[in-house]
Structure 1
């Protein structure tokens, strides 16, 4: 008697089996994705906000070496006649003056370009060949780069005049320019190179 065996059933999973998801599972996954994306964006935004500066960087403030806007018109100055020797000395001085005093650029003058110079706006002026002031032991005198200056305070400017040179040089510094002695530093260098000393510096100016 021949026995008949039950047909074998292939129990291997068929292609694609197990991949299908029921509608409830797919809906839950979609909701999780929609929630995760906005959360990621929010986190990124918070991180960027923390790293970014609170306020934009301020523009740099002007400094002593920053060029300021100024007029280019001639500065009105007097030009009294000079004796022969002072005229030669003043011509040498003016020809060697710098093009700028700190950030102030040189401007033309209305008279005496061989003995006068001007810088900036308001104008800082240089006059060569004027009268040397008489100073005593109580006078305000200052040495700047080996040049002795007498300081006289006016209502609108500080007037600095050399008191140790063969020919006097006067620099008028408007009050809007603070610390007037600092403005005569480059001019002092030119004076040392072009205006001989008279060897009679006041006691307050001696090193």
Structure 2
């Protein structure tokens, strides 16, 4: 069993332990919008149209710049970016590549492979739907530690908007 496989239990625990803290916050949330084209742009537009008004009990907020590739909920904001790249830790082309690292784990939630990266510097989590046609990245600030994860709420929506990409080389089902 790889360290990655062993750590998928950690992701499951993180996903279950990240609920409602309420609140929407004021003003728009700055979120860097990925540039997308072709089917990825279509997937992100489809996703944008189906994202919930609340996530983890948090109200939806505007993002700046406004984009169908970004969304935010709550204050501090849980953010979503559609069309993001693979997290460096699982991208073989990245200098940060370390899929066996202690701060990365993966789990299949619904039919979506979510890769979790724990960011030690600010104690936040970044979840990436790594095997979808359009990679969806969700950043969850440390303020929501111990609360419900957004993954169960987002998995069905992500899977419907962006199909599984069999060319991706990340496999949560074996973790």
Give unpaired runs (5+ residues) of structure 1. Answer: 1-63
Report runs of 4+ in structure 1 exceeding 4 Å deviation. Answer: none
2:22 matched to which residue of 1?
A: 68
2:80 matched to which residue of 1?
A: 126
Tell which has more relative contact order, 1 or 2 (C-alpha 8 A, sep 6+): 2
* Equivalent pairs, count: 143
- CA drift at 1:201: 6.2
What does 1:1-207 correspond to in 2, within 5 Å? Answer: 64-65=19-20, 68-133=22-87, 134=90, 138=100, 139-154=104-119, 155-156=121-122, 157-179=124-146, 182-199=149-166, 200=168, 202-206=170-174
Distance 1:178 1:197, change over 3 A: same
Structural RMSD (CA): 2.3
Give unpaired runs (5+ residues) of structure 2. Answer: 1-18, 92-97
Distance 1:80 1:169, change over 3 A: closer
Whose radius of gyration is greater, 1 or 2?
A: 1
- CA drift at 1:111: 1.3
Q: What TM-score results when the alignment is normalised by the length of structure 2?
A: 0.72
Q: CA–CA distance in 2 between the matches of 1:120 and 1:187?
A: 16
